[in-house]
Amino acid sequence: MFKDRTIILGITGSIAAYKAADLASRLVQAGAAVEVVMTESAQKFIAPLTLRALTNRQPVTSMWQDAREFSIEHVSLAEAADAILIAPATANTIAKLAGGLADDILSSTVLATRAPVIIAPAMNCNMYDNAATRANIASLKSRGFTFVEPQSGRLACGSEGKGRLAPAETILETLAAVLNRKNDLAGKTIVVTAGGTREPIDPVRYIGNRSSGKMGCALAAAASARGASVKLVSTVDMPDSSGMTVIRVETAAQMLEAVRGAVKGADALIMAAAVADFRPLTAAGGKIKKNAAPLDLKLEATPDILSEVKGDFIRVGFAAETADLIDNAKKKLGGKNLDLIVANDVTAPGSGFGADTNKVTLLFKDGRAEDLPLMPKRAVAEKIMDYLATMLN
């Protein structure tokens, strides 16, 4: 994955700078040549000596540093890079890059490179939410920069909010996806559904399920990264949906209508959404009061989207099961005329609703089957895209 790749690891002046040591170590262990570039403020949080010990290379800390094997430091680093990873990235550095400034070694290297740039922000939640920062991030995304969204939680300043550096696994997974990015879905239109539907009981209550939408969002991101035109029909918000058409829905009926419109001219439909099987026969116009108990709630079946949506496109379904996984998945594969079904046991550890990982079995129309090990949902998505690209091309 990273073997024999040259990775420029940019470190900026965030309290999370110490976490860059773990990233450097993991990259070196994976066979990468890691060149560390540190801003002046980064050196206040972590010593260059630490990074030198981990990478066996002297970190570059200044525009005026004596050159090693590199001649004009920032240009040579920029040309040698297979990718530039900035983790952590402060609001200040993001603003510099958005404005095209080149007043330190890191910003100069980024401006001079043609390699992909991956940015993992870490900062105070109010700084991250500030309109200026959001505009700078949007500008960089529009120019092809890849962002690894920060996490929410308690920050070093004591505040609670979004601004914590993403986990090392997530950052390296994104870096690997960028390095191995393919363009084998260019010119294709892929419709993806994500999230669990909500079937109203009254204006404040609904019947739903535990789906987080993470698998569907991972599929949409993977398809988009490989050049596809993506239409995402979703009940949940996607952290980064730039470049996609997003259609927000809530109920199964709304999803059916949205999918019917979206698949016109599409090359593939991936139904990753967890569509509720039942909905209330009627929804109350006002909030049902507790003193109305006992409540007699009559249900009816929701529409089967995969069965009802017609068209000449590849059809991929999901089977989230708690028992008889393969048998139930095979029935859905044939009954819904699918080309591929992704079966997963949602009771298995680390798999299913809400988890960041998944363990699935791929069942194909021609009878083939492939068990995948437990892996991040983005990695599962990439595997599915490998097969989808083969089917379409």
Per the domain annotation, does 282 fall within a domain? yes
Residues designated as active site: 157
Write the CB contacts of 338 (distance below 8 Å, at least 6 apart in sequence): 306, 315, 316, 317, 332, 365
Q: Are residues 73 and 208 in the same domain?
A: no
Q: Are residues 169 and 199 in the same domain?
A: no
Predicted pLDDT at 66: 58
Q: Are residues 146 and 266 in the same domain?
A: no
Mean pLDDT over 316-321 rounds to 94
Q: Does 305 appear as a known binding residue? A: yes
Q: Are residues 257 and 333 in the same domain?
A: yes
Domain final residue, candidates 155, 179, 203: 179
Range of the domain at 254: 189-392
Q: How many domains does the chain have?
A: 2
Q: Are residues 170 and 204 in the same domain?
A: no
For residue 183, which amino acid is it?
Answer: N
Q: How are beta strands 268-271 and 314-321 bridged, if at all?
A: parallel
Q: Which of 84-93, 290-299, 383-392 has the lowest mean pLDDT?
A: 290-299
Asked whether residue 171 carries a pLDDT value surpassing 80, the answer given is yes
Q: Does 214 appear as a known binding residue? A: no
Q: Are residues 194 and 124 in the same domain?
A: no
Asked whether residue 220 carries a pLDDT value surpassing 80, the answer given is yes
Q: Are residues 382 and 254 in the same domain?
A: yes
Domain final residue, candidates 159, 179, 199: 179
Write the CB contacts of 153 (distance below 8 Å, at least 6 apart in sequence): 160, 164
Per the domain annotation, does 114 fall within a domain? yes
Mean pLDDT over 171-182 rounds to 87
Gap between the Cα atoms of 107 and 7, Å rounded: 16
Q: Are residues 47 and 73 in the same domain?
A: yes
Q: Are residues 383 and 252 in the same domain?
A: yes
pTM: 0.68
The β-bridge partners of 60 are 37
More reliable by pLDDT, 182 or 2:
2
Per the domain annotation, does 335 fall within a domain? yes
Per the domain annotation, does 149 fall within a domain? yes
Q: Are residues 254 and 375 in the same domain?
A: yes
Q: How are beta strands 245-248 and 229-234 bridged, if at all?
A: parallel
CATH number, domain containing residue 29: 3.40.50.1950
Per the domain annotation, does 184 fall within a domain? no
Q: Are residues 84 and 233 in the same domain?
A: no
Q: Which DSSP symbol is given to 373?
A: P
Domain final residue, candidates 179, 200, 229: 179
Residue 23, class by beta-carbon neighbours within 10 Å (0-12 exposed, 13-18 middle, 19+ buried)?
buried
Q: How are beta strands 160-164 and 151-154 bridged, if at all?
A: antiparallel
Q: Does 288 appear as a known binding residue? A: no
Q: For 319-362, write each residue's pLDDT tens digit.
A: 999 999 999 999 999 999 999 999 999 888 888 788 888 999 99
Per the domain annotation, does 1 fall within a domain? no
Q: Does 304 appear as a known binding residue? A: yes
Q: Which of 139-153, 269-283, 298-312 has the lowest mean pLDDT?
A: 139-153
Q: Does 330 appear as a known binding residue? A: no
Q: Are residues 149 and 297 in the same domain?
A: no
Asked whether residue 73 carries a pLDDT value surpassing 60, the answer given is no
